[in-house]
Amino acid sequence: MTVDVFGQFGASITIEANRSSLGIRGEVDIATAPTLRGLVQLLIDQGSTQIVLDLANVTFLDASGLGVLSAASARLVRMGGGLTLRSVPRNVQRTLEISGVAALIEIENVEHAVRPLGAEEPEHAGSGAERAEQSSAGLSRFGALPASNDTVDAALRLVVALASATVAGADGVSVSLHRHGQLMTAAASDDTVLQMDYDQYATGEGPCLSAAAEGHWFHAEALAHEPRWPQFVPRALDGGIASILSSPLMSGQRPIGALNIYSKAERAFGPPEQELAALFATHVAGILLDAGADIPDDETTSRIQEALRSRETIARAQGVLMERRHVSAEQAAALLHSTSRADEVNV
């Protein structure tokens, strides 16, 4: 049995006694998730308590799809069976892991394991003082990004709000950019975070400056035991900050700023949080590159809004909100849209 929906979504079904297989292709989003829900219901009605979903040909999975999978798994478990995902593409696996759904459903044959972010710091990195000097020298090489762009700044405020809401352990987020010949904060979630950024600029050291200059992530897991950045760390501790994760904003091989996530707790950011932070940093960089391109203002605005509507980023944000706040896909989407309206950016 084969089902096609508008050429965006397709399914092939094999029913064997109480075990069925469902091969999915295309995109599983708000438009096609109801069809997937109906197909799973069909298999259950046919007596299947063990269902295998083959996702090898799935190109995208959003929060609506996550909701279908979670509900189907819970229902099948109550029936004494279960749901198994097979041949999961890497991008879909990342969505499942960050949303927490991967811990609830059996998964076979992941296409590729999630690529680790790698070592935080290269072996040849020098002392804190040397890194501070490298940071200042490195920043001077960067061309200035647009100094005043309401659309860019509103977009960055939205990204900061999304990251604050969806990265577990985050007590504040900021975006640091090179403007007017120096590193400065373009968006911050609150005054404490803004002060943390300013303290790094004032001392000429810190994970924010290091990430923005060296182009790789810096993770201060426990500032109380952090030997790097000796001038900045005491200020951070006085401000109630216990750990910091800074991810570089990259233009090709060149860093152009940093996304900074602050926590009042030590060791707040594990691999899932690091991966989600890297995702947000990638999309912030895309927004900035479009803003700095030699294109008309109306097209710049259009490109930035499209970047903010990036389906992978928003889907992950929805998935995380669903898991952390125990809400439906629709409720998670409403939360993100309310954040968007507050910052005057359409998502």
Question: Phi, psi at residue 23, to the nearest 5°?
Answer: -90, 125
- Higher-pLDDT residue of 203, 76: 203
From residue 219, give the alpha-carbon distance in Å to each of 63, 78, 117, 125. Answer: 29, 42, 11, 14
- Dist CA 72 CA 64 (whole Å): 12
Q: Could you tell me the two tokens for 184? A: 């400065």
- Higher-pLDDT residue of 104, 76: 76
pLDDT single digits (tens) 128-160: 444 434 433 333 333 334 434 566 777 778 778
Residue 107, classed as helix, strand or coil, is strand
pLDDT single digits (tens) 45-103: 888 899 999 998 888 887 778 888 888 888 888 888 999 999 988 778 877 776 667 77
Residue span(s) of the chain under CATH 3.30.450.40 come to 128-308
Q: Could you tell me the two tokens for 154? A: 């509103």
Decide: 164 and 277 in contact? Cβ < 8 Å.
no
317: pLDDT strictly greater than 90: no
Which pLDDT value is given to residue 25? 87
pLDDT-derived band at 206, boundaries 50, 70, 90: very high
pLDDT single digits (tens) 255-277: 889 999 999 999 999 887 888 88
Order of strands across the sheet with 82-86? 2-5, 9-16, 19-28, 50-61, 82-86, 106-108
Which pLDDT value is given to residue 337? 56
6: pLDDT strictly greater than 80: no
The crossing angle, in degrees rounded to 10, of helices 329-342 and 311-325 is: 110
Which pLDDT value is given to residue 329? 63
**Nearest residue to 207 via CA among 181, 237, 244, 238:** 244
Residue span(s) of the chain under CATH 3.30.750.24 come to 2-108
Which pLDDT value is given to residue 212? 92
Which pLDDT value is given to residue 341? 46
Residue 106's Cβ-side half-sphere holds a number of Cα atoms within 13 Å equal to 11
- Higher-pLDDT residue of 215, 97: 215
The hierarchical CATH code for the domain 2-108 is 3.30.750.24
**DSSP string spanning 188-240?**
ESSHHHHHHHHHHHHHT-SHHHHHHHHSS-EEES-GGG--S-TTTHHHHHHTT
Q: What is the mean pLDDT of the chain?
A: 75
- Dist CA 80 CA 112 (whole Å): 30
Which pLDDT value is given to residue 149? 57
Average pLDDT value for residue range 174-184:
85
- Dist CA 337 CA 124 (whole Å): 44
DSSP-assigned beta bridge partners for residue 20: 15, 51
Decide: 86 and 108 in contact? Cβ < 8 Å.
yes
117: pLDDT strictly greater than 70: no
- Dist CA 248 CA 261 (whole Å): 12
* pTM, entire model: 0.56
Q: CATH homologous superfamily for 128-308?
A: GAF domain (3.30.450.40)
- Higher-pLDDT residue of 148, 40: 40
Which pLDDT value is given to residue 150? 62
134 contact partners, CB below 8 Å, separation of at least 6: 126, 213, 214
Count CB atoms within 10 A of the CB of residue 337: 13
From residue 170, give the alpha-carbon distance in Å to each of 48, 129, 178. Answer: 42, 28, 24
